[in-house]
A and B are shown apart, each in its own frame.
Chain A
């Protein structure tokens, strides 16, 4: 069953001589529970695709849906609520809120929705990610790897339909990169979490079930590995 579909999704910046095509007609279907890596060179359009799927940006053409929600039709408030409930975003530089503790950072999507956390699930997530001892610390008191684990925990806390990770290991050393990939794989297998991972690192991409390659805003490869 498809959780995500893209039909001729395009994104164009500027006009006239300054016109830049970031995405040029992307057709894509991702099934629930898949672990997909999107690879490509710098400027190929992979981050733009991730931003559109995370409703951070809007396509200039085509249609993108996540669990049946047409992302182009969302206004700013609806898009924010969509990000809060349906997708978990993980960035290279973590984007944690520096003034909040690890616990509050993780619970932020639920807090914004005025929902009480499922304590058992919270415990499971932080234990799995190995950050249960650092819940009262501030982000800047953690190592890069720990911060990325917090970011993953935050993205999982709402049990989103889709976890979108943009170069999550780009700022980490080899050991931490390996650990983060293990965490993502674990959440994919144990929690049946659908993951779309953006990376330019082929080794990292090989960890995924499916590898989609983008070049100049077009999909040039779609390899199912498992």
Chain B
């Protein structure tokens, strides 16, 4: 009897069945994706530890703990916690789909109960129905979850392949994971179905037959805004939404979260893209085409600069190495502007150390190959010689926090031209702060504001840095005393203007070929890096966007199940409106307002949050709001909101189609019969 009853109901109420099946499908998809992802994370770690031969850490992965080890091993507890949270969230979300489907039949169960059906029989019937409906979606969702995990892993692998020292991860699966996924999904869905089934089974027959529990407000409803804009239809729509608040809670929360997350994500990436472009790609667009890092090689040991200059397509080559020293400055050495601005007063001691009458400041040294150094001297109008340093004589106003629009001033006092030539500008560079004995006094060829064309930034964090550019031949003499040389040497290569990616790839290949064997090198080219960066951003947008869409889908599923599931109650509600003289047109308007408000509310909240967040981000990054507005992601956000709005509109349209065909006399008669 129950089987016949259930199959009859399911045949005639496909939409309720579809919403339950969708909920089961989404749950199994998410849980399967999570399990699979965690399994692969764990597998990757095990393979990495095996390769590194760390047996103890490997054992710890299996929860075998050394009693003396107090370090937390969070992978398994974290996995269990996230799975628990995911299951709990899914129960909260999807139990509503079952509730709506079951709610629609309260009246029928009331009748069955009045003729002797026990609560247990009703509960069993509902749970069997849930099992029948969910079996196929669970299997499909689990399989697609595995496929999704494979795709996600491949995507992450693609994005992370250039990360240094990272092992390639290979997708894997284990039958036990399938069993675990199916078990946890079955438990999640079982609990989701059991909650409303239990509620329904303990209702009294009279309560169930009358079925008025849900739609009566406990408090007075007010919808002043909708009422003001749309009149009485707006007020009724607002009130109806308020009454359905509990049923639509999942939709409200997930639509709000998905819209907010999507808007924030788009704004953040747009801001970050503008910032990266301005501070990196545009700033260094003409500073480099190809960069080669020659590993563990000092500039003195690298003798291939000329060979590289001969490669066809190469316009300019600078070979350089970086070093770090300290410079001793006295108050008298500072420029008038610098002193007027407080000198080193604004530093808390973090970057500048006081030593008697001297101040010790960082002195980054850029050691350039002699030919490039001479060309640089020529470019800045200095004497072309290799026995001294060129000093970047600039410091930004440290009292101005706007890093995007810094104001510069001369850092130290320049001696007259003759004094420079006469080697009067002594600079002390030293090996360590505590050891002043080993100093190298080198002449200054020029103080300048112009720096060599390199892909380098100066004084970004430590504003008090005094940057020195020295030729390789001089470095050879002072290296022993200053020390602080970095391990690698860099080669900056410029090609002709407007060079294409293909040309750069070819030249890069030639360079690598000519250095192969003698040196260990890593190289990159500007256009490829720009594209890779773009791909990374697109990849991250894709992954995060997918989560936003998934979140929105949960809410939309709730809207569908609610709009299509509460037909009986809403028919009665609409019959009331019609009986007092509301026209079908006014009823349609009310329906449209309801759908509109359902989307507009999270949209307005999300807009508010996004505006505040963008305002804060703009303030923190000192970006001109007009710059952001010119590239603001209105189109993707608009498209997302429109898609959500369109889907909600579709749910309400389908519901309206069912409603408009109702026989008013029939509904009223049904009421009067009760």
Q: In the bound complex, how far is the Cα of B240 from the Cα of A67, in angstroms?
A: 35
Binds A, one of B180-188, B213-221, B301-309: B213-221
List the A side residues contacting B663 at CB < 8 Å.
Answer: 57
Q: In the bound complex, how far is the Cα of B668 from the Cα of A170, in angstroms?
A: 15
List the A side residues contacting B232 at CB < 8 Å.
Answer: 108, 111-112
Q: In the bound complex, how far is the Cα of B674 from the Cα of A140, in angstroms?
A: 17
What mask results when residues 533 to 569 of chain B are scored 1 for a CB within 8 Å of chain A, else 0?
A: 0000000000000000000000000000000000000
Q: In the bound complex, how far is the Cα of B577 from the Cα of A76, in angstroms?
A: 13
Question: 8 Å CB contacts to B: which residues of A74-129?
Answer: 76-77, 80-85, 89, 91-93, 95-101, 108-109, 111-114
Min distance, Cβ A153 to any Cβ of chain B, angstroms: 12
Q: In the bound complex, how far is the Cα of B579 from the Cα of A56, in angstroms?
A: 7
Is there a chain A Cβ closer than 8 Å to B111's Cβ?
Answer: no
The contact sample of 16 A-B pairs, CB cut-off 8 A, is A51-B668, A54-B579, A56-B668, A76-B583, A80-B581, A80-B584, A83-B580, A91-B668, A91-B672, A92-B672, A93-B672, A95-B668, A96-B576, A99-B240, A99-B242, A100-B236
Docked-complex contact B242 and A56, CB < 8 angstroms: no
Is there a chain B Cβ closer than 8 Å to A34's Cβ?
Answer: no
What mask results when residues 195 to 227 of chain B are scored 1 for a CB within 8 Å of chain A, else 0?
A: 000000000000000000001110111000000
Min distance, Cβ B473 to any Cβ of chain A, angstroms: 89
Residue of B whose beta carbon sits closest to that of A154:
B580
Docked-complex contact B580 and A109, CB < 8 angstroms: yes
Is there a chain A Cβ closer than 8 Å to B406's Cβ?
Answer: no
Secondary structure dominating the interface of B: helix
Min distance, Cβ A183 to any Cβ of chain B, angstroms: 19
Docked-complex contact B239 and A100, CB < 8 angstroms: yes
What mask results when residues 35 to 69 of chain A are scored 1 for a CB within 8 Å of chain B, else 0?
A: 00000000000011001001011000000000000
- Most A C-beta atoms less than 10 A away, residue of B215, B575, B577, B665: B665
Docked-complex contact B584 and A77, CB < 8 angstroms: yes
Is there a chain A Cβ closer than 8 Å to B63's Cβ?
Answer: no
List the A side residues contacting B585 at CB < 8 Å.
Answer: 77
Contact of B674 among A57, A93, A99 (CB under 8 A): A93
Contact of B671 among A57, A91, A98, A99 (CB under 8 A): A91
Which residues of A are interface residues toward B (Cβ below 8 A)?
A: 47-48, 51, 54, 56-57, 76-77, 80-85, 89, 91-93, 95-101, 108-109, 111-114, 136, 138, 140, 154, 166-167, 170
Contact of A138 among B220, B242, B575, B577 (CB under 8 A): B220
Is there a chain A Cβ closer than 8 Å to B441's Cβ?
Answer: no
Contact of B239 among A81, A99, A109 (CB under 8 A): A99
List the A side residues contacting B579 at CB < 8 Å.
Answer: 54, 56, 83, 89, 91, 95
Is there a chain A Cβ closer than 8 Å to B669's Cβ?
Answer: yes
Q: In the bound complex, how far is the Cα of B627 from the Cα of A42, in angstroms?
A: 76
Docked-complex contact A80 and B583, CB < 8 angstroms: yes
- Since A83-B579, A84-B582 are in contact, a sample of 13 more A-B pairs with Cβ atoms closer than 8 Å, ordered by chain A residue number, is A51-B665, A51-B669, A56-B579, A56-B668, A80-B586, A81-B581, A81-B583, A83-B581, A93-B671, A93-B674, A97-B573, A99-B239, A166-B672
List the A side residues contacting B58 at CB < 8 Å.
Answer: none
List the B side residues contacting A113 at CB < 8 Å.
Answer: 581
Q: In the bound complex, how far is the Cα of B235 from the Cα of A80, in angstroms?
A: 19
Contact of A99 among B221, B575, B584, B668 (CB under 8 A): B221
Min distance, Cβ A115 to any Cβ of chain B, angstroms: 11
Q: In the bound complex, how far is the Cα of B575 from the Cα of A91, in angstroms?
A: 12
Contact of B584 among A76, A97, A166 (CB under 8 A): A76
Docked-complex contact A57 and B665, CB < 8 angstroms: yes
List the B side residues contacting A114 at CB < 8 Å.
Answer: 231
List the A side residues contacting B668 at CB < 8 Å.
Answer: 51, 56, 91, 95
Q: In the bound complex, how far is the Cα of B544 from the Cα of A216, in angstroms?
A: 68
- Most B C-beta atoms less than 10 A away, residue of A47, A95, A101: A95
- Asked if A97 meets B577 with Cβ closer than 8 Å, knowing A76-B583, A138-B217, the reply is yes
Is there a chain A Cβ closer than 8 Å to B578's Cβ?
Answer: yes
Q: In the bound complex, how far is the Cα of B216 from the Cα of A84, in angstroms?
A: 24
Docked-complex contact A97 and B576, CB < 8 angstroms: yes
List the A side residues contacting B240 at CB < 8 Å.
Answer: 99
Q: In the bound complex, how far is the Cα of B586 from the Cα of A77, in angstroms?
A: 9
Min distance, Cβ A103 to any Cβ of chain B, angstroms: 11
Q: In the bound complex, how far is the Cα of B181 from the Cα of A2, in angstroms?
A: 75
Min distance, Cβ B286 to any Cβ of chain A, angstroms: 67
Q: In the bound complex, how far is the Cα of B583 from the Cα of A138, in angstroms?
A: 24
Residue of A whose beta carbon sits closest to that of B576:
A95
Question: 8 Å CB contacts to A: which residues of B396-434?
Answer: none
List the B side residues contacting A95 at CB < 8 Å.
Answer: 575-576, 579-580, 668, 671
Min distance, Cβ B576 to any Cβ of chain A, angstroms: 5
List the B side residues contacting A92 at CB < 8 Å.
Answer: 671-672
Question: 8 Å CB contacts to A: which residues of B615-674?
Answer: 663-665, 668-669, 671-672, 674
Residue of B whose beta carbon sits closest to that of A111:
B232
Is there a chain A Cβ closer than 8 Å to B243's Cβ?
Answer: yes
Docked-complex contact B582 and A112, CB < 8 angstroms: yes
Docked-complex contact B672 and A98, CB < 8 angstroms: no
What mask results when residues 582 to 600 of chain B are scored 1 for a CB within 8 Å of chain A, else 0?
A: 1111100000000000000
Q: In the bound complex, how far is the Cα of B584 from the Cα of A151, in angstroms?
A: 22
List the A side residues contacting B578 at CB < 8 Å.
Answer: 56, 80, 83
Docked-complex contact A99 and B672, CB < 8 angstroms: no
List the A side residues contacting B664 at CB < 8 Å.
Answer: 56-57
Contact of B665 among A56, A98, A136, A140 (CB under 8 A): A56
List the A side residues contacting B239 at CB < 8 Å.
Answer: 99-100
Min distance, Cβ A98 to any Cβ of chain B, angstroms: 5
Q: In the bound complex, how far is the Cα of B231 from the Cα of A98, in angstroms?
A: 18
- Most A C-beta atoms less than 10 A away, residue of B216, B232, B585, B674: B232
List the A side residues contacting B671 at CB < 8 Å.
Answer: 91-93, 95
- Asked if A99 meets B577 with Cβ closer than 8 Å, knowing A56-B664, A80-B583, A93-B674, the reply is no
List the B side residues contacting A166 at CB < 8 Å.
Answer: 672
Min distance, Cβ A221 to any Cβ of chain B, angstroms: 23
List the A side residues contacting B586 at CB < 8 Å.
Answer: 80, 112
Min distance, Cβ A217 to any Cβ of chain B, angstroms: 15
Q: In the bound complex, how far is the Cα of B239 from the Cα of A80, in angstroms?
A: 22
Residue of A whose beta carbon sits closest to that of B217:
A99
Contact of A47 among B236, B583, B672, B674 (CB under 8 A): B672
List the B side residues contacting A81 at CB < 8 Å.
Answer: 581, 583
List the B side residues contacting A111 at CB < 8 Å.
Answer: 232
Min distance, Cβ A134 to any Cβ of chain B, angstroms: 13
List the A side residues contacting B665 at CB < 8 Å.
Answer: 48, 51, 56-57
Docked-complex contact B581 and A112, CB < 8 angstroms: yes
List the B side residues contacting A82 at CB < 8 Å.
Answer: 581
Q: In the bound complex, how far is the Cα of B575 from the Cα of A95, in angstroms?
A: 9
Q: In the bound complex, how far is the Cα of B575 from the Cα of A54, in angstroms?
A: 13
Q: In the bound complex, how far is the Cα of B578 from the Cα of A108, in angstroms?
A: 11
List the A side residues contacting B674 at CB < 8 Å.
Answer: 93
List the A side residues contacting B576 at CB < 8 Å.
Answer: 95-97
What mask results when residues 134 to 161 of chain B are scored 1 for a CB within 8 Å of chain A, else 0?
A: 0000000000000000000000000000
Min distance, Cβ B207 to any Cβ of chain A, angstroms: 14
List the A side residues contacting B217 at CB < 8 Å.
Answer: 98-99, 138, 140
List the A side residues contacting B573 at CB < 8 Å.
Answer: 97
Min distance, Cβ A58 to any Cβ of chain B, angstroms: 9
List the A side residues contacting B236 at CB < 8 Å.
Answer: 97, 99-100
Residue of B whose beta carbon sits closest to that of A83:
B581
Min distance, Cβ B554 to any Cβ of chain A, angstroms: 27
Residue of B whose beta carbon sits closest to that of A155:
B580
Q: In the bound complex, how far is the Cα of B240 from the Cα of A48, in angstroms?
A: 30
Q: In the bound complex, how far is the Cα of B578 from the Cα of A109, in angstroms?
A: 10
List the B side residues contacting A89 at CB < 8 Å.
Answer: 579-580
List the A side residues contacting B672 at CB < 8 Å.
Answer: 47, 91-93, 166-167, 170
